[in-house]
Amino acid sequence: MPHRVLNFGAGPAMLPHPVLEQVAGELTDLDGSGMSVLEISHRGAAFERIAERTEADLRDLLAIPHNYRVIFGQGGATLQFAAVPLNLCSSNATADHLVTGEWSRRAAHEGERFSRVNVAIDGASSGYRTIPPQTEWTLTQGAAFVAYAVNETIHGVEFPYVPETGDVPLVADMSSTILSRPIDVSRFGVIYFGAQKNLGPAGLTVVIVRDDLIGKARAGTPSVLDYEMAATSGSMLNTPPTFAWYVSGLVLQWIRSEGGLAEMAARNQRKQQLLYDAIDRSSLFDNEVDPAYRSWTNVPFQIREPHLEPVFLTEAATAGLTNLKGHRTLGGFRASIYNAMPESGVRTLVQFIEDFDQRWAGMA
Ligand SMILES: *Cc1c(COP(=O)(O)O)cnc(C)c1O
């Protein structure tokens, strides 16, 4: 067995081991072609098969209705902060933004370059530790869309429900939760996510968009950001990120072989419960997020004795538990436990936290 650690990084994140082995195994000769997937044309038959199967598997896993198009693009979720208003509204329309953490804050900020922005929730006053109830949101009558991040990857705050927006299209950044459990796609106008957290390598960005929101991009929208041009060209207006697309396809096959999203949801439910329970039981560690809104995939935690922070990280790395350092804006720690992190990996982390707590709590 090659040397592998338990990687709790937020993204680019751990990938399923069988997928890495398959990539390595067919890297120099894809399907008897004598070429690697890195070297073939995106317009050739071999890649066409990969592209089609990837989309079919994504549609199957997420039960994407027929009236939605799937775009395999680039530029990350961050470029969608601009692409969404360019495709969905004019510059004097108002977009409502639910700001519950750093990513939705950035989406609102970028959105201001392209339309009017109404911040319907601002979670900054709570330190982004909770989500105010829908009765307190200040939504705009006739808004062009309502945008939010389903899970705040940095702050570890997640919506446990889908917001109700009536006829106003709901736009969801699902970068860090996509494929972590089943979703009802029909509730959304646009869903987008970068691949590098829960789907595959960095470089691929997927957009799932309802038919009636396509074909309305404002004048001046760059072609590659125009949902209609992307969709009608089969995401091949220009060269797509072929390798990331291919690896993402293998991850989708892996998810299917493991039992699909119902199974992912059951595992992820258990994983987050184990970890939060250990943090809550400990005397040294804290997660300050309102329990009703705790993220399943990104678990930030702090230590009450700051001088022990580097000790924890060093000992963890020695034990093969890596990338536990918290985001640079928050400090502390963060464990990202996406689909590829096995339950046994979370148990190892829990055991480590418990041991550390026992060894150091009395001595602090
Ligand atoms: C990581 C992340 C982003 C930024 O993604 P890029 O692909 O780097 O642009 C945006 N939103 C959320 C929720 C994220 O987790």
Question: pLDDT digit string (tens) for 137-176?
Answer: 999 999 999 999 999 999 999 999 999 999 999 999 999 9
Q: How far is CA 218 from CA 111, 214, 222, 325, in A?
A: 14, 11, 10, 42
pLDDT of residue 329: 87
Tell me the CA–centroid distance for residue 306 and ligand 1, in Å. Answer: 28
CB of 156 shorter than 6 A to ligand 1: no
pLDDT tens digits, 2-52: 788 999 999 999 999 999 999 999 999 998 989 999 999 999 999 999 999
- Rounded to the nearest integer, the mean pLDDT of the chain is 96
* CA 164, 149, 82, 61 torsion-angle sign: negative
**How far is it, in rounded angstroms, from Cα 33 to Cα 91?**
49
Query: Which positions ≥6 away from 91 have C-beta within 8 Å?
Result: 114, 115, 218
User: Residues 347-359: what's their mean pLDDT?
Assistant: 97
pLDDT at residue 275 is higher than 80: yes
Q: Number of helices (H) and strands (E), helices first, in the chain? A: 9, 14
Helix (H, G, I), strand (E, B) or coil at 259: coil
Tell me whether residue 132 is exposed, middle or buried, using C-beta atoms within 10 angstroms of its C-beta: 0 to 12, 13 to 18, 19 or more: middle
**How far is it, in rounded angstroms, from Cα 302 to Cα 67?**
44
CB of 103 shorter than 6 A to ligand 1: yes
Q: How far is CA 66 from CA 48, 62, 178, in A?
A: 20, 12, 19
- Catalytic annotation, pick one of 57, 96, 173, 226: 173
pLDDT at residue 320 is higher than 70: yes
pLDDT of residue 362: 74
Q: Give the predicted TM-score (pTM) of the model.
A: 0.97
User: Residues 223-239: what's their mean pLDDT?
Assistant: 97
User: Residues 346-350: what's their mean pLDDT?
Assistant: 98
78: left (phi over 0), alpha (psi -120 to 50) or beta: alpha
| pLDDT confidence band for 364 (50 / 70 / 90) | low
| pLDDT confidence band for 216 (50 / 70 / 90) | very high
pLDDT of residue 1: 60
Residue type, 262: A
Tell me the CA–centroid distance for residue 308 and ligand 1, in Å. Answer: 30
Q: Quick one: what percent of the chain has pLDDT higher than 70?
A: 99
pLDDT of residue 253: 98
> In what order do the strands lie in the sheet containing 190-194?
68-73, 205-210, 190-194, 170-173, 145-149, 94-99, 116-122
pLDDT of residue 3: 84
CB of 297 shorter than 6 A to ligand 1: no
CA terminus-to-terminus distance, the chain: 39
* DSSP structure class, residue 139: P
pLDDT of residue 140: 97
